[in-house]
Copies of this chain bind each other. A is one copy, B any other.
Amino acid sequence: MEERACCDCDVIHEKIVKAVKKKVPPMEEYLLVSDLFKMFGDPSRMRLMHALSIHEMCVCDLAVFLGITKSAVSHQLKSLRLLNLVKYRKEGQVAFYSLADDHVEAIINIGFEHIRE
């Protein structure tokens, strides 16, 4: 009973646990990666990003396309912008959003591949 940590059971296979612990990156990286995938874990955002992979679009167009308010779209775009998943160019008062890089489309594609077996 060398280790108890903060859970209700002992380690059964201590060697495996220690080996895995040694091979694994620090917690912060998991936080970053899970924050990244969180963006893909919402149907609206998925549709939004997939739409942008087809053509750049403005907030109003996205709102109509998604069937939600401009405000909701803007909130989502802000989250996506903070994680560098989308970028935009401004033309007058219209903001044309598009995907930030090819990584985003790659993640979308691997997701669709998986569910289509």
Contact = CB atoms under 8 A, between A and B. Distances in A.
Contact of A110 (B27, B32, B60, B106): B106
Contacts of A37: 37-38, 40-41, 46, 107, 111
A82 interface: no
Contacts of A46: 30, 33-34, 37
Contacts of A23: 54
Contacts of A34: 40-43, 45-46
B8 A70 contact: yes
Interface string A47-77: 1001100110110110111011111000000
A76 to B, nearest CB: 13
17 contacts: A5-B64, A5-B67, A7-B68, A9-B60, A11-B60, A11-B61, A16-B57, A16-B61, A24-B47, A24-B50, A24-B51, A29-B112, A38-B38, A40-B40, A107-B111, A107-B114, A110-B110
The 6 closest A-B pairs by CB, nearest first: A37-B40, A38-B41, A41-B41, A33-B111, A32-B115, A37-B41
